[in-house]
Amino acid sequence: MSALRFVVADVFTDVPLTGNQLAVFTDGRGVETDVMQALALETGFSETVFVLPAEADGDARIRIFTPRTELPFAGHPTLGTAFVLGGPLQRDALTLETGRGPVEVVLERDESGRIVFGRMRQPVPAVEPFDDTEALLAALGVAGSELPVECYDNGVEHVFVCLPSEDAVAAVRPDMGALTRFGLTGVNCFAGAGAAWKTRMFSPLDGVGEDAATGSAAGPLACHLARHGRIEWGQEIVVTQGAEIGRPSTLFARAEGEGGSIAAVEVGGSAVIVARGEFRLP
């Protein structure tokens, strides 16, 4: 019987039992892909990570699973894994190898040496117009979008719909069955101004429903806002998410670029480790 040890972290929060839950299996060597997928379904979190030896110049390789599928990249699993590994390794920066390439995470510590914040340099997303806007708006139950509806792909596809107010975002009641038919990983409704933005991300295709904190969407959101003149390139935004499902979260995002061209994307936040355990499998 093998013992597979895991750590549970709440990510994009500094308060336990809020933020986005993450299970990190700290030694995924010898675990078959079908077992990884079954364990991700068993935990029931939006993502589960398996840590493996690095294959290139990184500190470790990670595989990321939703309850239904494997993702090449995702934000809160990458940041949360850096918190889990950074403590015992006593590192201030880690490079994690993902299916979308290496992602560097810089960690900040308080006076006691505890990791309190991390910033990751994300893959630069590709951008395309979304070609079925009217049907998407109908599935969301909203009248329109204040900005062009576009799809950003950084290893995860996210579509963005801009609503007139934070109250309008909170009031969205999507038809999840209709959203599933689009085949999208994430549909994001957002509103705000200046540095403060509220977002909700719906992902029925991955068995998640609504996500508590979506790091892979926060960076593209900063890109979207800068590309369409709502913020300046290089301006950091503060994104709140998850209140509607009882998991309030806070994300920080910044995009560098010029005009419509994206040069770099950075997303940061806190995380807290809340549990440790093991699965015993034959």
- pLDDT over 70 at 155, yes or no: yes
**pLDDT tens digits for range 63-87:** 999 999 999 999 999 999 999 999 8
Beta strand 20-25 with 47-52 is parallel
In this prediction, residues 43-54 reach a mean pLDDT of 97
Q: How confident is the model at residue 126 (pLDDT cuts 50, 70, 90)?
A: very high
Separation between Cα atoms, residue 113 and residue 51, nearest integer Å:
23
DSSP H or E run through 180: helix 176-180
Tokens 């799809």 sit at which residue? 151
pLDDT on residue 127: 97
At 88, list the tokens.
């015992």
Query: 3-state DSSP call for residue 125?
Result: coil
pLDDT on residue 120: 98
**Other C-beta atoms within 10 Å of 102: how many?**
16
In this prediction, residues 89-111 reach a mean pLDDT of 95
Tokens 């889990």 sit at which residue? 84
Q: How confident is the model at residue 42 (pLDDT cuts 50, 70, 90)?
A: very high
For domain 2-124+269-281, give the CATH number.
3.10.310.10
Give the total residue count for the chain: 282
Q: List, in order, residues 6 or more apart from 246 with CB less than 8 Å away.
A: none
In this prediction, residues 90-108 reach a mean pLDDT of 96
| Residues catalogued as catalytic | 47
Q: Going by CATH, does the domain composed of 126-264 fall within 3.10.310.10?
A: yes
Q: How confident is the model at residue 1 (pLDDT cuts 50, 70, 90)?
A: low
Contact 197, 191 (CB under 8 A): yes
- pLDDT over 90 at 95, yes or no: yes
Nearest to 199 by CA among 154, 238, 230: 238
In this prediction, residues 151-156 reach a mean pLDDT of 96
- CATH 3.10.310.10 location in the chain: 2-124+269-281, 126-264
122 to 71, 106, 139, 193: CA distances (angstroms): 14, 12, 30, 23
Q: How confident is the model at residue 117 (pLDDT cuts 50, 70, 90)?
A: very high
Q: How confident is the model at residue 261 (pLDDT cuts 50, 70, 90)?
A: very high
In this prediction, residues 126-140 reach a mean pLDDT of 96
Nearest to 215 by CA among 118, 126, 84, 93: 118
Amino acid at 111: E
- pLDDT over 80 at 206, yes or no: no
244 to 28, 173, 208, 249: CA distances (angstroms): 34, 11, 14, 11
C-alpha of 118 from chain center = 14
The share of the chain scoring above pLDDT 70, in percent, equals 100
Question: Which carries the bigger pLDDT value, residue 121 or residue 208?
Answer: 121
DSSP assignment letter at 268:
E
Beta strand 101-109 with 93-98 is antiparallel
- pLDDT over 90 at 204, yes or no: no
- pLDDT over 80 at 233, yes or no: yes
